[in-house]
């Protein structure tokens, strides 16, 4: 199936990243859908990665159509000019907005770097789980996942930072086979034209179905 294009012009292309896909080949992702290869073949031109989403995550993902544009977009990311918003389903009740200001350890250097995430609760399910908007103000690896674990509200389905018995409960009860994390919206400056862009991507069907089933669930929960 062709990748879903959320935006496409001569300078950049934005896709709806399928879960379990990766931007480019990585160790441990053998057999995964390689987006830079498939998107380049789909468009018939070279494509340049700009950022990443976790392998199990879905949603808004940006590629550049030239190395020059990729460099401009990468600079915007470093300067925190992008505004990202994710949807995540978390363990526990989050009654109020949270400001999580806690350093995250970088995998390559093992150094702790400053990291800030804003969390806004949207809906509570079964008095046990909260759907939230997560807005990272910095761009550390696994930042949202680590921050939500840090405040004792791990993301459902997160095998690294979550709780195994809860993840198994969601898999067995609601057939949820991946982490409930979706890049819903991105605001960025167009790299060539003088305008601010907003790219949105609705929650995919399997995650919407999980919420619908959870809302109707009458049995025991963990």
CA 192 to chain centre: 25
Q: Rounded to whole angstroms, how far apart are CA atoms 16 and 69?
A: 20
Q: Rounded to whole angstroms, how far apart are CA atoms 112 and 173?
A: 38
DSSP letter string over 14-44? EEEEPTT-BSS--TT-TT--BHHHHHHHHHT
- Kindly name the residue from 9, 54, 76, 175 that is annotated as catalytic: 54
What is the token pair recorded at 157?
């389905």
Sign of CA dihedral 145, 143, 15, 197: positive
54 noted as active-site residue: yes
Catalytic residues: 54
């Amino acid at each position: 199936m062709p990748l879903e294009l959320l935006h496409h012009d001569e300078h950049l292309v934005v896709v709806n990243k399928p879960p379990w896909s990766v931007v480019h080949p990585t160790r441990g992702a053998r057999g995964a859908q390689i987006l830079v290869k498939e998107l380049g073949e789909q468009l018939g031109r070279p494509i340049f990665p700009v950022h990443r989403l976790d392998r199990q995550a879905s949603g808004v993902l940006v590629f550049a159509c030239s190395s020059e544009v990729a460099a401009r977009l990468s600079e915007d990311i470093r300067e925190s000019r992008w505004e990202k918003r994710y949807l995540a389903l978390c363990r526990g009740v989050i009654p109020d907005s949270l400001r999580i200001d806690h350093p995250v350890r970088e995998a390559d250097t093992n150094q702790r770097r400053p990291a800030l995430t804003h969390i806004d609760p949207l809906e509570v399910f079964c008095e046990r789980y909260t759907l939230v908007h997560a807005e990272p103000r910095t761009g550390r690896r696994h930042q949202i996942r680590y921050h939500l674990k840090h405040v004792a509200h791990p993301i459902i389905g997160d095998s690294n930072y979550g709780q195994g018995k809860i993840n198994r409960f969601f898999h067995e009860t609601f057939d949820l086979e991946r982490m409930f994390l979706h890049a819903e919206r991105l605001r960025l400056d167009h790299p060539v034209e003088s305008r601010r862009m907003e790219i949105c991507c609705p929650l995919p069907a399997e995650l919407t179905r999980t919420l619908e089933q959870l809302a109707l669930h009458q049995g025991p929960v963990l």
